[in-house]
Structure 1
Amino acid sequence: MGDDGRARRLVAVFASPVAEMLQRFGVELGFQSVLVEPDPTKLMGAPRPHGDLFVHDLAAAHLDDDTDVVLTDHHRAEIGDVLKEALASDARWIGIVGNPKAEAPHVAALRKLGVGDAEIARVHRPIGLNIGSRTPAEIAVATLAGLIADRNGRPGGFEF
């Protein structure tokens, strides 16, 4: 729960191994877990018990200021449209996975849709704490730790 008693919501966009881990661990950390998958043919099997909600678009996820949105695949054609919608919402935090050494495809996708640089800068990439994560579980742990640190106004890492 947030400080005001409302449920903290974690919206993982795109069915992927990282989304699976975010949902699994997120529930244990007090998040209401939502998976948004615009393409139902990409769903990875039946809904799992640790996912609270499965929807096909962001509007159904009810983004508010207690919501953190994580796009879990930076190769999907829908990233521009999904991020533009997320940026227009009241979501507290928006990020997309990706290697910081590689070009960020979401920037070009958002510019093509007419989104300005100030809005594009609101999209976090890379996401999570720098722990050298490689596997989906490690990426989820780093991401969730970063979200908790950000939500609590802490720098993350080993600074106290």
Structure 2
Amino acid sequence: MTAECEIPPDVPGTRTLVAVFAGPVAEHLVHFGGHAGFRTVLVDPRTDRGSIDADDDTDIVVADHHRPELGHMLKEALAGKSRWIGVIGSPRHPAPHVDALKALGVSDEDIARVHRPIGLNIGSRTPGEIAIATLAGLIADRNGRPGGFTH
């Protein structure tokens, strides 16, 4: 696994952000996530960027919901100890991860642990906006806040 880190790996309590599947959204997640205080890791089965190694301080974001490896990567993530798992995708479209996980025999209870859609609802369209909305939601959660505007 190749890590793109701005935080030393021995800082306790630091959340790790794992972006699954290399692409524009994942690139922005890794870049901005490091600046936002996350240890960042990119995992992609097409490269030497191995498997998901998660603990209870790990947030996993699947940054492409159209990949044939989607079910297998999510099943691997669900088998670990991650704190949170989410898949990008519009709420207006079907969630392909559900069928992919069911085909692999994953229980409905485990499937329900996968969040979709993810991030704050800011009307994201570009990869950068999707990454920022996702990170904003994770930062709000990390800080014990609901997200949204402070009136």
- TM-score, normalised to structure 1, is 0.84
> Displacement, 1:106?
0.2
Equivalents in 1 of 2:107, 2:50: separation in Å? 26
> Displacement, 1:6?
3.2
Query: In structure 2, what is the equivalent of residue 35 of structure 1?
Result: 42
Query: In structure 1, what is the equivalent of residue 4 of structure 2?
Result: none
Return the match for 1:123 from 102, 114, 119: 114
* Letter aligned with residue 142 of structure 2: R
Number of aligned residues: 142
> Displacement, 1:159?
5.7
* Letter aligned with residue 57 of structure 1: S
Query: In structure 1, what is the equivalent of residue 78 of structure 2?
Result: 87
> Displacement, 1:143?
0.2
Alpha-carbon RMSD across the aligned residues, in angstroms, is 1.6
Equivalents in 2 of 1:76, 1:127: separation in Å? 18
> Displacement, 1:7?
2.8
Query: In structure 2, what is the equivalent of residue 104 of structure 1?
Result: 95
* Letter aligned with residue 60 of structure 2: V
1:55 lines up with 2:49 in the alignment: yes
Moved over 4 A (4+): none
1:73 lines up with 2:64 in the alignment: yes
1:22 lines up with 2:40 in the alignment: no
> Displacement, 1:105?
0.3
* Letter aligned with residue 15 of structure 1: A
SS at match of 1:149: helix
The percentage of aligned residue pairs carrying the same residue is 64
Contact kept? 1:34, 1:55, Cα under 8 Å: no
1:156 lines up with 2:150 in the alignment: no
* Letter aligned with residue 49 of structure 2: V
> Displacement, 1:128?
0.2
Question: Any unmatched runs of 5+ in structure 1?
Answer: 41-53
> Displacement, 1:145?
0.5
Equivalents in 2 of 1:68, 1:123: separation in Å? 11
Equivalents in 1 of 2:21, 2:15: separation in Å? 19
SS at match of 1:70: strand
Equivalents in 1 of 2:136, 2:21: separation in Å? 20
Equivalents in 2 of 1:70, 1:157: separation in Å? 20
Equivalents in 2 of 1:23, 1:91: separation in Å? 17
